[in-house]
Amino acid sequence: MTNFKTISTTKFNFPNQEAFYKGKVRDVYNINNKLLVMIATDRISAFDVVLPKAIPFKGQILNQIAAKMLKATQDIVPNWLLATPDPNVAVGLLCEPFKVEMVIRGYLTGHAARTYNEGKRELCGVKLPEGMKENQKFEKPIITPSTKAADGAHDEDISKAAIIANLIVSKEDYEQLEKYTYLLFQRGTELAKERGLILVDTKYEFGKTKDGKIVLIDEIHTPDSSRYFYADGYADRFKNDEPQKQLSKEFVRQWLIEKGFQGKEGQQVPEMTDEKVLEISNRYIELYEQITGEAFVKSEETDLLERIEKNINLYLESI
């Protein structure tokens, strides 16, 4: 298919390394209980399942978009990011993450649309109006949080009331997270509009630094954490009940659904041919170029792990 290498997993041992955590996509190294070194691998997940093949350049794309978007929003809310010493690597402050993901939706799409089409008119404690059509814009964006699941488990929908009642997040902190979420979504919407896109929905994760400051963590406004529509033609496609042209990981989910897989017990992940892997890689490159307005530069190294380890060590030595 291609000579390009992928990063499926890492097993580094850095100076002052305290702990290692493997997420669905990122490998995270705790350095001296002060810093996190987060490596965006080329793993791809859908329905909370890591798919069997890695996607060339996916980690680089996610890491670079997230870094650009964190810089573009740091006037709204401080964030964890300190440096990007490698195309696949972000280094930032070690924070205590809140155990919720702040999902915000501007349109009835994806999980919200599937819930609505089942006849339900409430999502995470938010009442949904009757008579809506898939991909219709909400009068105002809605926040539909989910619990931040333990490794390997499914994230679960949860209401604001339940979050506060179960002491998952204090009322004061949660209301601050809400404010930040609305402001970040507004900024993301403006940035998307400049690129001829609609930011449909996204999720934000937050944490607290050791001195108690709330900061934005992880990634933002990437195709893994967000859904984008092309603005051009949105209205006509909506009027004619046609699928929207979109930039997100949703095309992977739709392919899996068509093949009978939604991450449920007993279901098998369909075969990922070389052609399918290349198609997904090309779609991610298209996403990068459309979201950033910049040409994507493919990294040509044959030993990606060696490059990543070298660049991280050089950064850690410099601080």
pLDDT digits (tens, 9 = 90+) for 66-113: 999 999 999 999 999 999 999 999 999 999 999 999 999 999 998 999
What spatial distance separates the first Cα and last Cα of the chain, rounded to whole Å? 41
Burial of 224 (0-12, 13-18, 19+ CB in 10 A): buried
- Tell me: pLDDT of 3 over 80: no
Whole-Å CA distances, 136 to 102, 129, 281: 21, 11, 29
Q: What is the pLDDT of residue 223?
A: 84
- Tell me: pLDDT of 170 over 90: yes
DSSP state of 312: H
Residue 254 host element (H or E): helix 250-258
Please, which pLDDT band fits residue 1 given cuts at 50, 70 and 90?
A: very low
What are the DSSP E strand ranges found in 87-232?
Answer: 89-93, 96-97, 100-107, 122-123, 126-127, 137-143, 146-147, 197-208, 214-217, 226-230
**What mean pLDDT is predicted for residues 280-287?**
91
CATH class of 98-248: alpha beta
Asked if 296 and 290 count as a contact pair (C-beta separation under 8 A), the reply is no
**Which residue has 């902190």 as its token pair?**
173
Whole-Å CA distances, 123 to 77, 114, 184, 219, 305: 27, 11, 21, 24, 42
What is this structure's pTM?
A: 0.90
**CB-based contacts of 127, cutoff 8 Å, min separation 6:** 121
Please, which pLDDT band fits residue 27 given cuts at 50, 70 and 90?
A: very high
- Tell me: pLDDT of 243 over 80: yes
Q: What is the pLDDT of residue 151?
A: 54
Q: What is the pLDDT of residue 81?
A: 97
Q: What is the pLDDT of residue 150?
A: 59
